[in-house]
Structure 1
């Protein structure tokens, strides 16, 4: 009950745009006393919200803290489905694990699990992912598109396009996409995307899109061994980025492009993806589980497979690999 009242109070404060919100009206709505509402206001102040009071008129929002909770994100949201149900944690082992459980239990399409911090975050191939508290975006989105399991792998590329468009629109910088799941700024990684599937043999039940993004980290926030290969949006732009606003933009583009993929297939997404690619036309090294090959990346197929022209002129499709660009 307390979280419901606090979220409603925050929602009203945001919608009021600095005008006073009646504590009495909220108290009557939830069958509470005005003293109870005052206590919730004090709790919000402890969370970092700066709230003013006008006698006999109510409360007004002066400033909101940099949190990625439901109220802050939904204040910027313009979607129909994505982000309309948000599960927020101050800390958790992994948003991906929670999202899998929620999906199994029937969570709605577009449900988002967000945490300020992950203690056991993971990336592709179960690699650990550093998730600094309060400085990044660590979230998992539960999508339930009408797709076959064979169409699910392309969702990584759909998500990459959505995230890239959102970063570009909000910050003005131009990210690039490294196949299959990394987003780079100035050649250094700022985002990783992990796509996992819950499916029957003939239909997708849920796709869990894990998105880990370095947003406001300083260089000192990265382990020494990552400082040459990882970056953050703040390091790239020189200024703090509003994480809640960026999440709302990501969810907006994700809803747009998932719907486009379901209705029109992968072709229109493929064109956008290739426009952001950092590998097309370049000589690459593809490191796979049992072999390593070199050649020129010439594009991606309609199945999201990376196509590489080898030195003998033959074309090889790469389904999964670590991609390196030899210097």
Structure 2
């Protein structure tokens, strides 16, 4: 059974709670040899799982490390496509680059690339994204939406709504959306979304959505210049959160909203986005390639562009950095 044995083996150990499960029972339930069980137990131990072996009693899971590996994620998934195909590596330069390669190889829609640490994480406009090990959710999602290229910005907004809904339910924190791709708590950034795609004028071939969420990070892991502007769920909530549980919740919200989007279009997403956007009715400055525009944020156009009410009338902002 090879690596496929690890997920059901870990599931059996987790289900036992504090009790033991015998090697014979594992062998019968997973249809494998006792030698194969021992090999995989040792592999799990090498990755930080503490598993006690007691003669005549069997195996007992004593401690689970905080990992986002598939065997930890699967128990939290309720989806049919998103998150069902997963690639996982403990450390990578960027999940975004690897997801692009996987998409070109033909990865199915909903495929997810996960890591514990990025050494060269990317944000919008070529910025660096700091992804300290085991402290956040660093992942890239592959979608293949049957939409024209000019509608692709709507996917960033859809994802920001899905993550906001999932995190609010899981943490009870007052998360707000900042156009076009950030989530904030009390004005500080907790999540960023990077949408990249390949396609032609009339059709998107595939989309890779990079999602970075500061989950259990403390201020000490960030460079000095980020500390006044970044935060984490743990800092704001006063406790740590299960990353696999959060990913499962995010995948569930994403699948629900994405299926709805493909059936009913962008309007329901726009309504939800405006509900969660903290900047509506506020004066903001949009810094575009053509200069700065000041105005009151009024909402979204059907394209996903931001509508700003300025002294010369309503302007449509398609791409910019927002100061608010």
TM-score (norm 2): 0.94
- Encode CA deviations 1:186-228: one digit per residue, 9 max, x unaligned: 1100100001112233222211110001111111111111111
Q: How many residues align?
A: 324
More strand by share: 2
Partner of 1:297: 297
Partner of 1:322: 321
Within 5 Å, give how 1:103-122 maps onto structure 2.
Answer: 103-122=103-122
Partner of 1:205: 205
Matched, 1:162 2:150: no
Q: Distance in 2 between matches of 1:138 and 1:248?
A: 14
Matched, 1:94 2:99: no
Secondary structure of the structure 2 residue equivalent to 1:150: helix
Deviation at 1:126, TM superposition (A): 1.2
Secondary structure of the structure 1 residue equivalent to 2:92: coil
Deviation at 1:58, TM superposition (A): 4.0
Deviation at 1:29, TM superposition (A): 8.1
Partner of 1:190: 190
Q: Distance in 1 between matches of 2:26 and 2:239?
A: 37
Within 5 Å, give how 1:123-202 maps onto structure 2.
Answer: 123-202=123-202
Deviation at 1:145, TM superposition (A): 2.4
- Encode CA deviations 1:37-79: one digit per residue, 9 max, x unaligned: 2121122122122324465564343432110000111111111
* Gapped regions of structure 2 (runs ≥ 5): none
- Structure 1 residues 206, 17: closer, same or farther in 2, change over 3 A? farther
Task: Check whether the contact 1:14–1:75 (CA below 8 A) recurs between aligned residues.
Answer: no
- Large movers: runs of 4+ above 6 Å: 28-31
Deviation at 1:16, TM superposition (A): 5.0
Deviation at 1:27, TM superposition (A): 5.0
Secondary structure of the structure 2 residue equivalent to 1:90: strand
- Encode CA deviations 1:94-125: one digit per residue, 9 max, x unaligned: 00001001011111111100010001100011
Q: Distance in 1 between matches of 2:297 and 2:214?
A: 27
Q: CA RMSD in A?
A: 1.9
Partner of 1:70: 70
Deviation at 1:311, TM superposition (A): 1.4
* Gapped regions of structure 1 (runs ≥ 5): none
Task: Check whether the contact 1:89–1:115 (CA below 8 A) recurs between aligned residues.
Answer: yes
Deviation at 1:289, TM superposition (A): 1.5
Task: Check whether the contact 1:145–1:258 (CA below 8 A) recurs between aligned residues.
Answer: no
- Structure 1 residues 218, 106: closer, same or farther in 2, change over 3 A? same
Task: Check whether the contact 1:123–1:129 (CA below 8 A) recurs between aligned residues.
Answer: yes
